[in-house]
Structure 1
Amino acid sequence: MPRFARPFPPFPPARHLLRRLLSRRRDPVVVQSVRSTGAAVVSYVVALRLSHEPAPLTAPLTALLVVQVTLFSTLTTGVRRVNSVVAGVLIAIGFSALVGLTWWSLGLVILASLVVGHLVRVDEFVPEVAISAMLVLGVTRVADTAWDRVLETLIGAVVGLGFNLLFAPPVWVEPASRAIDDLASRMAALMTGMSDELTGRTTLAGASLRLHEARRLDNDIAEVDAALRQAEDSLRMNPRVREGLMFRLVLRTGLDTLEICAVVLRVSARALTDLAKARADEPLFTPAVTAALQDLFGHMALAVHSFSRLITAQVTTNAEEQEERLTRELGMARESRDLLARLLLEQLHTSPAQWQLHGALLADVDRVLDELDVDKRSQRLMEELDRHSRLRHERGSRVHRAVRRVGRRRPG
């Protein structure tokens, strides 16, 4: 064997691969991949028997698009996709009866299809209207191909809906919970980094770097929000979940709280940056104030981490422990905050130049502690439950009034 040649690593035995697959059989990505593949294959087999096309690929394509990650999105997506295909086919049939396929008729078909797609409100499937019209218009036997395409689309949609009804989609609460935990960990790490920088002479470059990290939390929150929306859809109309509304409200209100804390944290990082700019040749605070501020940031970081664990308690199943830990950390943080306020007041008499920045820093700390408070979290949950109850009652009242109006219009 040449000196630089390296042997390939041995391929793992089949039983090891099977064991790894079985260990991930409950993973949402694996479950979704298996469901989509099964629905596509079944729809293709059914379309082979019912359609006149030799290769009815529209059916498995529709099944793949209809079998979305949640049952709620599957129902809404299936209806919109069928509407888009039918609208495109009808447009193609109408144009084929009037004109042939030329460059200007193709342009009219595309323009009419896009306009009709927006009128029938198929949302993301607006291009599908034009695609269906062009595919049907480009064949010789327009009528046969048009109805075969409609049939294949219906087959794919029905098979996709059937798969989600027979095999319930995965619940995406755990990935959303992990995303929330990761966001809280990054916020806690930022607080710890801000605390560590206070030990020495804080430079403007270091403070600006922390401010940039605080601003980047906005992108992290957007990613967590997308994962949470997917989890909320997976809880709607899912027979495997009994208390889907409570799960959705707990996660959503928790993310709202973390978002507010991230905004306040960004403002605090800005205040420290302004202090570093104003005191370029001297420490930001006295040693006593620095120690109190470091202790405060440490307790706040632990409180944010405990809060994220608390709102994801349906996954971690240790809600009481995390609530006690959060209450303890908030209590110690408030004690550190009171000590810091007294020290800053004493420092105000000797160096009053930056008193407004010190006051802003204390106000930001109060906002974070208030948002993380356990009682406020419970109050927010109750308000959201009451709001959903009112909305449900209003919908029921509207339906009841509509039924009564229809009944009055019937002849005696």
Structure 2
Amino acid sequence: MDTRPRTAAVRSRLVAGFGDGAMVARTAVAAGLSWWIATALLHSDSASLAPAGAILGAHATPFATARKSLQRAAGIGVGFLLGVAAAASLGVNAVTVLLATLIGLYAGRLLRLGPQMHQVALTAVLVMGTAAHFGYGATRLEDNVVGVLIGTLVGLLLPAPGFTRRAGEELARLTRQIADLLTQVSDQLAAGDWTAYSGQWVSRARELSKRLESVRKAVRDAEDAIRLRPRAGSARPRINRLAEATQCLDHVGHQVRGITRGLYNLTFREGRPPDLRRDQHDSRLPPEPASAPPGLDRVLADLAALLGQLADVHTTENPPDTHLLQRLRPLLGAAEAAFLRTALDQSPDYADWKVLCTAGILEDARKIIHELDPDIGPHRGAFHA
């Protein structure tokens, strides 16, 4: 029994809960080093600001660390000037604090500081709240700059965290979950008791589509992790494959949602079917569930088998080998043959809403087959080096 998928899932959950080991190590080193510099070398009176800046700066990818560090330093610098100017010219009272906060928040947005946009207003208020405005502001700026610079430097020097591995595991998990949904739909279609489950399928498909955003973020983190790093180009081909595979799974997810929604429409669970307005009150149209397209269970089972084969590829560093492509081609052929048999069984009378609904379901199935084709599909970069 192959325990690799289960091991990868457990490791990914641990990483999500406790953090990547390299990430934790470099954050701790950056915090300790910045404290030592602030106390032993700079003799700072507020040395705790240095490790605080290091923690905020180092707990991200190296590229994001550098970007966040620059944004944080810029926010503190502008906030320092704003707080000193407000305290020196207008004094410190409720009105000046309110105005400094408004100006600081606007300046943070104007400077496009992203998640650090609040630093301008926060620093200005902290500077205004101390008796020695200039001294505290200068110390805060100095210690934070030390912290973010040390966080950036340590992040670049220590080994890169396993963002690429994590992205592959996230993508593989979601691929298996979509395959499991298709298998469930296929089994219940074959059993003939599918109508009671159609609403659950729609909800499940929507939920899986939402989870794709976490996969996209993991791939973006993997891309950020190799920026600004020497000799990081060797990871680029795998990250490109993961990015293309994520795009492919996005399209597949939309089409799975279309299939489940089409099956749900066939059950009349929302009243009349999606027909023309003039036919909505036609008494000859009985509100009875329609049957699923014959053979659709076989099509979905073949598509689930395809996705199951692809899931394991995302957790390996090497590109898909010829053996995988050889396994995919017969599965594609089987899915295509099952699709054609199902499609040819339908009536050509496209004025009937049931035929249109069925045609939509089959068109989504045909698109999935095309998306997963490693030879002529639109996502060949997900399958080849």
Please indicate, yes or no, whether the TM-score normalized by the shorter chain is above 0.5.
Answer: yes
Corresponding residue for residue 211 of structure 1 = 202
Contact 2:374 2:380 in 1 (8 A): no
Corresponding residue for residue 373 of structure 2 = 373
Distance 1:270 1:119 in 2: 44
Corresponding residue for residue 308 of structure 1 = 311
Q: Which has the higher helix share?
A: 1
Shift of 1:374: 0.4
Distance 1:78 1:276 in 2: 55
Corresponding residue for residue 319 of structure 1 = 321
Structure 1 runs not aligned, ≥5 long: 1-19, 386-412
Corresponding residue for residue 393 of structure 1 = none
- Find the residue that maps to 1:237 and give its secondary structure: coil
Could you say which structure has the greater relative contact order, defined with CA pairs below 8 angstroms and 6 or more residues apart?
2
Q: Which residue of the other structure, out of 57, 72, 86, is the alignment partner of 1:95?
A: 86
The normalised TM-score by structure 2 is 0.82
Contact 1:309 1:316 in 2 (8 A): no
Aligned AA (2:78): A
| Shift in CA distance, 209/74, structure 1 to aligned 2, threshold 3 Å | same
Distance 2:49 2:137 in 1: 12
| Shift in CA distance, 41/127, structure 1 to aligned 2, threshold 3 Å | same
Corresponding residue for residue 291 of structure 2 = 284
Instruction: Choose 257-266 or 334-343, whichever is displaced more.
Output: 334-343
**Is residue 298 from structure 1 mapped to residue 301 from structure 2 by the alignment?**
yes
Shift of 1:67: 0.8
Alignment of 1:392-403 (within 5 A): none
Contact 1:253 1:381 in 2 (8 A): yes
Shift of 1:353: 7.1
Instruction: Choose 63-72 or 229-238, whichever is displaced more.
Output: 229-238
1:200-236 CA-partner distances (Å, limit 9, x unpaired): 4435431122122112222111222222221221132
**Structure showing greater Rg:** 1
1:335-386 CA-partner distances (Å, limit 9, x unpaired): 21222233335xx79xx7732233222212211111111024576539xx9x
Distance 2:379 2:198 in 1: 36
Alignment of 1:74-223 (within 5 A): 74-202=65-193, 204-223=195-214
Contact 2:244 2:379 in 1 (8 A): no
Distance 1:358 1:95 in 2: 68
Distance 1:29 1:45 in 2: 25
Corresponding residue for residue 59 of structure 1 = 50
Shift of 1:32: 0.8
- Find the residue that maps to 2:267 and give its secondary structure: helix
How many residues align? The count is 351
Shift of 1:129: 1.2
Q: After the TM superposition, which segments of 4 or more aligned residues of structure 1 sit over 4 Å from their partners? A: 278-283, 377-380
1:104-154 CA-partner distances (Å, limit 9, x unpaired): 111122122222222322221111111111222111122222221121122
Distance 1:283 1:142 in 2: 76
Corresponding residue for residue 363 of structure 1 = 363
- Identity over the aligned pairs, expressed in percent? 23
Distance 1:168 1:201 in 2: 54
**Is residue 36 from structure 1 mapped to residue 27 from structure 2 by the alignment?**
yes
| Shift in CA distance, 281/100, structure 1 to aligned 2, threshold 3 Å | closer
Shift of 1:280: 7.5
Q: Which residue of the other structure, out of 216, 229, 243, is the alignment partner of 2:220?
A: 229
Contact 2:69 2:148 in 1 (8 A): yes
Contact 2:23 2:60 in 1 (8 A): yes
**Is residue 263 from structure 1 mapped to residue 254 from structure 2 by the alignment?**
yes
Distance 1:316 1:60 in 2: 39
Contact 1:114 1:130 in 2 (8 A): yes
Distance 1:282 1:126 in 2: 55
Contact 1:221 1:259 in 2 (8 A): yes
Aligned AA (1:355): V
